[in-house]
Structure formats: C-alpha cells, structure tokens
Amino acid sequence: MQLLYLSALLALLAGGSYLVVRQVLVRRELETAAKALGERVRSGSASAEDLFEMGCVMLRKKIYSQAVRNLEGALAAWDGEPEEKAQVHNALGFAFFSQEKVGEALEQYRQAVGLQPGYVTAWNNLGDALESTKRYSEALEAYTQALAYAPSNETARDRAAFLKTRLARMPGL
C-alpha cells in the first residue's frame, strides 16, 4: 500500500515538474523573441510583420497596451495581402477586448471578417464580444457565420445553442 502511495506521489511530482519546466521554456522563448523583435522595433527597421509578431508576443505575455501599440503600427505599415491583414485586426481586437475596450474590439473583429469572411476565429471573437455586451441576437448571428464556414466548430456550436435557448426563453433580448 505504501508503495502505491509513493508511486502516486512520484507521478504527481513528475507531472508538476514537467509543467513548471515547460512554462519556464515557454517564458524563455517569449523573452528571446521579444528581445530580438524589440531591437528591430526600437531601431526603426521593423517591418509590418515584425510589428505583428511583437504584438502577438506581447499578447501572450499579457502586456496589452504594448500589444496594441505594435499591432496598430503593423496595420499602419501593412503592405501584404489584405486577407492576412485580417489576422492583425483580430489580434488587435483581442488586445482591446482584454483591456475591456469592447467597442474598439468589435470594430477590429468586424474589419477582420470583412477582409476575410471565412475567418472562423474572428467570427467567434466577434460573437464573444457581442455576447459580453448582451447583444445576443447579433452574437448568435456571428456564431452562425462561424458555423457556416466550420460546421464542426465546437465553440460556435455550443455558444449558438446556448444563445438560441436563451433567446427562446427570453424573447425581446
């Protein structure tokens, strides 16, 4: 019996150690990327893609104000495909939403789906932002659009089902 407890304890310790080491490695990777990209941004030689990557790194580090600054710079300097620009709008929308600036987030998500109508993640994000402002019918519409492009999307399917039920129970929302 003691051997069983000892084995369970060792398994828990090994699992915990793995998670800690993994987190440290991810942090180190983010710091390395931020340092390299930061040098290009500060020197003024950063491309729109560099600014986008830096914005994404800042999002992962949850430094939203710096993410917004880099993503807005990426939009201003963007010279790539318009469909790819949708990713920048979506990331910027996420940064705004994380700062509880829902109006700005909605604008960015709408621009993202306008540039790339099949961008399911942006449709889900738009639905989430609309739902947070209690605009349930519009949120359902966004999730329905996501499902039109990706019928197996679990997030959109679950949220759409929830909103249909909510709207049926509470007409006029």
Domain 105-173, CATH homologous superfamily name and number: Tetratricopeptide repeat domain (1.25.40.10)
Of the candidate ranges 6-10, 26-30, 75-79, 84-88, the one whose mean pLDDT is the lowest:
26-30
Assign 3-class secondary structure to 141-168: HHHHHHHHHCCCCHHHHHHHHHHHHHHH
pLDDT in tens, 61-114: 899 999 999 999 999 999 888 888 999 999 999 999 999 999 999 999 999 999
Where does the pLDDT of residue 30 fall: very low under 50, low under 70, confident under 90, or very high at 90 and above? low
pLDDT digits (tens, 9 = 90+) for 117-138: 999 999 999 999 999 999 999 9
- pLDDT at residue 14 greater than cutoff 90: no
Provide the mean pLDDT of the chain.
Answer: 88
Q: Which residues contact 117 (CB under 8 A, 6 or more apart)?
A: 145, 149
pLDDT band at 33 (very low <50, low <70, confident <90, very high): low
Secondary structure class of 50 (helix, strand, coil): helix
The alpha carbon dihedral of 157, 162, 166, 169 has a sign of positive
Q: Chain centroid to CA 32: how far?
A: 21
Residues above pLDDT 70, as percent of the chain: 88
- pLDDT of the residue at 10: 78
Name the band, by pLDDT with cuts 50, 70 and 90, for residue 158.
very high
pLDDT at 26: 67
Largest CA distance in the chain: 66
Q: What is the mean pLDDT of the segment spanning 42-70?
A: 87
- Only one residue has tokens 């960015």, namely 108
* pLDDT-above-90 percentage for the chain: 58
- What is the pLDDT at residue 21? 73
* Whole-number pLDDT of residue 35: 65
User: Is the Cβ–Cβ distance between 123 and 143 less than 8 Å?
Assistant: yes
Using alpha carbons, select from 73, 59, 133 the residue that is nearest to residue 100: 133
